[in-house]
Amino acid sequence: MIGEPGNSGGRTGNRPPAGSGEAWIEAGEGKPRVIQEYVPGKQVTLAHMIAHPGPELCRQIGVEDRGAIGLMTITPGEGAIIAADAAAKNGAVLLEFVDRFTGCLVFTGDVAAVESALRGAAEALVRVLGFSSEPVTRT
């Protein structure tokens, strides 16, 4: 376990990986302790469409099978509200879940509507608010 003497959690040296959002400090008696930091940026970290999901997946996540599921993760989390608005304006989708704390957004619709909503939401965040965005992906 990280933080126990003699165990670096698979890390080499005394430092966490660069860009990991972690910092090591001495916790007394020479024992390292890992501190995780959350530093929000303006970013669309996931914009993905699941085309033709199986009925079991739809049942498990609590959505109707309408042809496709759109998933987005946005940082900061409040950006999910803006993304939900932009998605709804760019495609005939049903907003299934919007979480302003985690930045998660889930919506459903036919394949064309979900793809249009994903692209429109990501483009609006980039163009209007200066977000960076990962490309829209599809399975």
**Residue 107: per-residue pLDDT:** 97
Q: Which of 120, 136, 130, 127 is nearest to 42 (CA)?
A: 130
Q: Which domains does the chain have, with CATH numbers?
A: 1-39 (no CATH), 43-138 (3.30.70.1710)
pLDDT band of 89, cuts 50, 70, 90: very high
Whole-prediction pTM value?
Answer: 0.70
- Do 42 and 79 touch, CB atoms closer than 8 A? yes
Taking each helix axis as running N to C, give the angle between helix 111-129 and helix 79-90, from 0 to 180 degrees, rounded to the nearest 10: 130
Which tokens is 85 given? Answer: 């608005």
Round to whole Å and give the CA distance between 106 and 94.
9
Q: Which of 122, 128, 126 is nearest to 105 (CA)?
A: 122
Query: Can you tell me the mean pLDDT for 105-127?
Result: 96
Report pLDDT digits (tens) over 21-75. Answer: 555 555 566 667 666 455 567 999 999 999 999 999 999 999 988 999 999 999 9
